[in-house]
Chain A
Amino acid sequence: MTTLVSVHGLEMTYRAPVRPEGLRAAFRALVHREYRHIAAVADMSFDIAAGEVVGFLGPNGAGKTTTLKILSGILHPTSGDVRVLGFLPSRRRHEFLTQIALVRGSQPIGLPTELTVLDSFRYQQLLYGVRAADYQASIAELTEMLELQPLLDRQVRALSLGERMRAGLALALLYRPRVLFLDEPTLGLDVTAAIALRRFVAAYAARTGATVLLTSHYMADVQSLCRRVVLIDHGRLRYDGGLDALAADLAPYKLLRIALADPVPVSWEDFGTVEESDGGSVTLRVRRDDAAAVTGRLLTQLPVVDLSVTDPPLETVLDRFYRAEAK
């Protein structure tokens, strides 16, 4: 499979001026400015093949948005190799820009906001050189799939965030980019809107074979869309691989939730570590490899009324992981 995005040894360091405390230091700073170096991205390497839908996860300030900005050409990295579609993104060549799209959840539409949605489509068509036939087909399809019909005549600045996100997505997909960068796409959306958006992106990617790079802090985004996850923390790549394997890697245990018919005194420690215990049910933490065996023992030895075996919620896993890394 062709590699569309290749990143090797990427570094992005900024200089931020140190603002000193105290009057004397402030005067000295006037003459001699001191800087500290912040490494937003350090030694990052990964490859993404055509058609993949990859999720970038990480706490706030991890460097996910910075990475996306570098890949789309907005930021010029300090060092390292970046190639997207064979181009150097920071050169911002015309052929490169017409094949990518960047949609940011915080402001999904980058066009003049006094235009109506329909006018914005026309603007995009001219900007990206979409042929008339393709334009008609795309606009009809996108309007239907994203339910934009009632929005077409309204000015962009009069739309709510959810409406802007849908319109912004449609505007980005109008010219069928080969690579789609989505930065926090469900930010600020209500549950229904977020679910609809995820469904749409998944369907779109499956149908057109577009490569999607998605950043989010919502686990639900990544779980429903991506098979491959890249975990970024403090600018470094911590994990790159399948989503299922991530849980197994970071948290090699399973959770067993048991409800008993009668409250029988049980020493749960024989079976596993107690995570939670509330009245009728108990949640045990058990090593993955032992899960099946322990389940069997529980079922035979105790009056079990309800039992479920689940993976630990990825959110909790990640939360523990970030906090451990922070130390």
Chain B
Amino acid sequence: MSRILHLLWLSIWRSSLQWWSRRSFLITIVIGRAVTPLLGLIVWSAALPGDSAVATYYVVLLAVQLMTVSFEHHTLSNGIYAGNLGGELLAPKPVVIGYLGENLALRLWHLVFGMPLIVLAAALVGISVEWPAVAMAIPAILVAAALRFVFTYALALSALWTERAHGVVGFGETLIFLLGGTAAPLGILSEPLRSIGQALPFWSMLGMPAEVAAGTLHGSAIVAAYFVQLGWLAAGTALVVGVWRVGVRRFTALGG
């Protein structure tokens, strides 16, 4: 176990350095990821002027978004297309470690380079956050980050079957946008849309931690949301392991 952790640490370190050397490109990527929450902020502030809760929610969402970004369609899928999987299967470490390391490194840099943006947005909007709520949200953010990785990784594995892995992951991203709390804060939607959205995994990946941190989710609702989150994480992990096994068997039989 400690060996795995050590390998993971090495992977994070190496990816961090690699991405630091491409920081000008990385900054453009961070901007790209920040656009949808920012647009949400602008549009909803214009739709509900004076509603500071919505504005706070979106600034927090921006932070959560940057902490949960996942690019496995670029790392894993492109790696499979480039023919790297064979080599990776031969290495004496689980293939996922490398991609997890890169994912974490990217999220770190997204937070670092995105911080000025978050601070600026917070200042301009004049948000009010309650630190107990933020503290309550931290585990949620961690679970959400794990869930989003698992989800994107599973979709990116479609590269083992199809040439359109980018489209598949893009479809997943669209669902996260629509039902995960970016297009509209789930709390604002009317029933039954809200309940359906809260039951689906997308909200657990993005909107739920943001709502906890912004303070729009209270008491038993938070507990329920945590259960849903953990449930989806377990289901998602099982799915990824299953898809991986099937995929690798197919790959080693067909040669990719």
A/B contact in complex, CB under 8 angstroms: no
- A residues sitting closer than 8 Å to B (CB atoms) are none
User: Interface on B for A, CB 8 Å cutoff?
Assistant: none
